Amino acid sequence: MRHAFPRGLALCAALLLSPAAMAGNLTCKMNYSLSGWSAFYKTASGTGTVKCSNGQSLPVRIETKGGGVTFGKYKIVNGFGEFANVGDIRDVIGSYATAEAHAAAEKSASAQAMTNGKVSLALSGKGKGWSLGVAFSKFTIEAN
């Protein structure tokens, strides 16, 4: 007796087990706003929204803390972030390690790259404020 295996079910199984599906190839992007200050200790907080190519969306809170030889006050509005190596939107939650050198007066622009395990995040943004220094910090994203 021959057992019939529906073709549609076989196709779904093949897609679920494909290397692309297993590698975490979602495209996820974040729009955010962030403001903070630094005087040896650096702190900032803000909010944003992460949206992925599979239709998932997640409002998030952002916090960064760290230290170094750094002074300033700044605000970023309409910031943009792009994640790599994401399998599910919840993979973006967590703390990212970052190091930066910065100098800005009045209007400023920033760009950073950071990692959290296998997930990478590249940030860019424009803002207002002034800052000068070198800092090492932790950039944390939490579900809002």
The full set of domain ranges for the chain reads 24-143
Per residue in 34-51, pLDDT tens? 998 887 778 889 999 999
User: For the residues of the chain, what is the DSSP string, one character each?
Assistant: -PPP--HHHHHHHHHHTSHHHHHT-EEEEEEEEEEEEEEEEEEEEEEEEEEETTS-EEEEEEEEEEEEEEEEEEEEEEEEEEEEEESSGGGG-EEEEEEEEEEEBSEEEEEEEEEETTEEEEEEEEEEEEEEEEEEEEEEEEE-
Per residue in 62-73, pLDDT tens? 998 887 777 788
pTM of the model: 0.74
